Amino acid sequence: MMRIRQNPNLHTSKLRGEIRLSLILLALLALIPLGVHSPYWLGVLIVSMYFAIVTAGWNLLAGWGGQFSLAPAPFAMVGGYATGLLAYHLHAPLWVGIPMSIVIPGIVGLALGRIVLRLSGVYLALTTLSFGEILRVIVYNSIDFTRGDQGLNVPTLVQSRVGYYYIFLLALLAVTVLLYWLMRIPFGRFLQTIRDDEIGAASRGVNVVRYKTAAFAISCGICGFAGGLYGTFAQLVSPELGLIQETGMVIAMAMIGGMGTLVGPLIGALLVYTASEMLRSVGGIQMIVFATLVIIFARFFQEGLWGLLRRLLTRQTPADKGATP
């Protein structure tokens, strides 16, 4: 039976536990540059945090909203090009370009959401996949405007890799706090009710299309924000940002870490991307390994690593202290 009624106290308690753990993990990440001085590994962690932001944005729509989009990477690409094109053609400063990496993907997501979110299931997934591929092909072929597969040069925010590390860390913190707030207000409860029983939510007066569209726009804005920051870090944006393989990585990170949770995208992104870098020396088997893990988690551990950890902690804390063995 689909869940419609949720226990507000249980929902709030879970969110509080997840935000605490997220803040602890972010605090631990803040200490890493004190002991890790390798530019390579700092770069790996920066890209991991980029993926954590994209995964968190996708998780808002898919994990909490139940709407399976296949376009998180293309919207990150849109955010990167929004910043890059403004700087390249209009010489706009980054304090203008980076906010536009949120606004422009958000507007595109809002317009697309009004169309595609009347669909569901495989139709929604295929529509967003097709839209993402169309965007990537347009960028790839608009050589005079986007420089095509050569990529577009983007100004940098800071020259220091450690500086970028903390910029991404603060961005990830801001997105985590934003999602925590969204899940605490009625918007989050309505979104989860739509996920659990869309027909039941509509029969109770919830404007299903409005909430799904708002979630889609916010999700696209978060993904675009990550892409805009990444473009300034790499000092280059290219159509490769929107490849379907990038979306596959995002989905793997969310499912392995734990969908529908605050801390899952952070855990999944850090583990999957760092493990991916470690597997490079073995050969190009990263996608095979992570695809296999996604199948295993989807079949046997749908709550992800965070769900498994929470279950273990719950077993160690008896729910009924007065129960007799």
Q: Are 223 and 75 in contact (CB under 8 A)?
A: yes
* Structure-model confidence comparison of residues 117 and 26, the more confident one: 26
As given in the structure block, the two tokens for residue 183 are 């899940």
Reference 61, options 75, 49, 50; nearest CA is 75
Reference 139, options 92, 90, 185, 84; nearest CA is 84
pLDDT in the model for residue 319: 45
pTM of the model: 0.91
Q: Is 239 helix (H, G, I), strand (E, B) or coil?
A: helix
Dihedral, CA of residue 167, residue 172, residue 178 and residue 180, to nearest 10: -150
pLDDT at 16 over 80: yes
Q: Are 250 and 55 in contact (CB under 8 A)?
A: yes
pLDDT tens digit sequence for 51-98? 999 999 999 999 999 998 999 999 999 999 999 999 999 999 999 999
8-316 CATH choice from 2.60.40, 1.10.3470, 1.10.860, 1.10.287: 1.10.3470
pLDDT at 162 over 90: yes
pLDDT in the model for residue 121: 73
Residue spans per domain, the chain: 8-316
Which residues neighbour 18 within 8 Å (Cβ) at sequence distance 6 or greater?
Answer: 180, 261, 262, 263, 306
Q: Are 282 and 171 in contact (CB under 8 A)?
A: no
pLDDT in the model for residue 117: 80
Lowest mean pLDDT among 15-19, 163-167, 174-178, 305-309: 305-309
Main-chain phi, psi angles of 40, to 5 degrees:
-65, -50
pLDDT at 161 over 90: yes
pLDDT at 126 over 70: yes
Radius of gyration from C-alpha coordinates of the chain:
20
**Residue length of the chain:** 325
Reference 286, options 296, 303, 272; nearest CA is 272
